[in-house]
Amino acid sequence: MKKLTQALLAAGFMSAAVTASAQEASIAGNVALKTDYIYRGISQTSGGSAIQGGFDYASESGFYVGTWASSITFDDSIELDYYGGIRGSFTEEVGYDFGALYYDYPGNSNDDFLEVYGKFTYAGFLATINYSDDFFAGVGDAMYYTLDYGVPLGNDITLGLHYGLQTFDQDVFGDEDAYSDYNVSLTMPFAGVNLSLMYNDTTLSEADCAGSEDCSSVIVFGIAKAF
């Protein structure tokens, strides 16, 4: 399903972009330029660069709302995402984040869909579960599970490790109803911006990916600024 391989989006990034503390109300923004837009292991820009950015508001109670956008190379459009939720902590070590995320494609409203998510943090680990009962392009029920771990390396450099499992109720990529994605990344602040370098790959073959290289391994460089 060629179109779907280009249309899986970025819920994990957008929720991660809500960086305001639940203890202090604030408005935050972010902008980024990347050599590729990778979502759940799959390129959304056919290997080309992407510009991204968004704004969000977080209240003292832990409630937050926001919007995020990215350039894409399908639907003759852009991706606009709207999200909101509540986050806090069960204990001093265990945090939570529950919310909903709406994916909007102004160029083709038939591709729009809603996803709900839950996130849990503990000692550098981040576990997430995302669910949609009407996923992109009429796929139907879909679940996405992730486990991420951040390792401080010193000098403000962080090593990130990610594993994700995307499942569907029907075969989507050839005769596959599930696939995994994984990446290793390095991030560091430099001259007022954040630099990132990521190696990303999936368990999908080129044949599974409708003959494209959108699911193949790739190295992505990014420059981001929060304000």
pLDDT single digits (tens) 119-159 = 999 999 999 999 999 998 778 899 999 999 999 999 999 99
Q: Give the three-state DSSP class for 216.
A: coil
Place of tokens 């005769």: 175
Contact between 116 and 129 (Cβ < 8 Å): no
Please say if the pLDDT value at position 7 is more than 60: no
SS3 letters across 74-107: CCCCEEEEEEEEEEEECCCCEEEEEEEEEEECCC
With cut-offs at 50, 70 and 90, classify the pLDDT of residue 23: low
Q: Give the three-state DSSP class for 209.
A: coil
Please say if the pLDDT value at position 64 is more than 80: yes
Handedness of CA 53, 54, 60, 61 (dihedral sign): negative
| Superfamily covering domain 2-226 | Inverse autotransporter, beta-domain (2.40.160.160)
* CA nearest neighbour of 210 among 183, 172, 180: 172
pLDDT at 74: 84
Contact between 56 and 27 (Cβ < 8 Å): yes
- Which tokens is 213 given? 């290289």
Q: What type of residue sits at position 40?
A: R
Please say if the pLDDT value at position 76 is more than 80: no
Phi/psi at 5 (nearest 5 deg)? -60, -25
With cut-offs at 50, 70 and 90, classify the pLDDT of residue 170: confident
**What length does the chain have?**
227
Domain extent listing, the chain: 2-226
Could you give the CA distance from residue 97 to residue 88 in angstroms, rounded to a whole number? 7
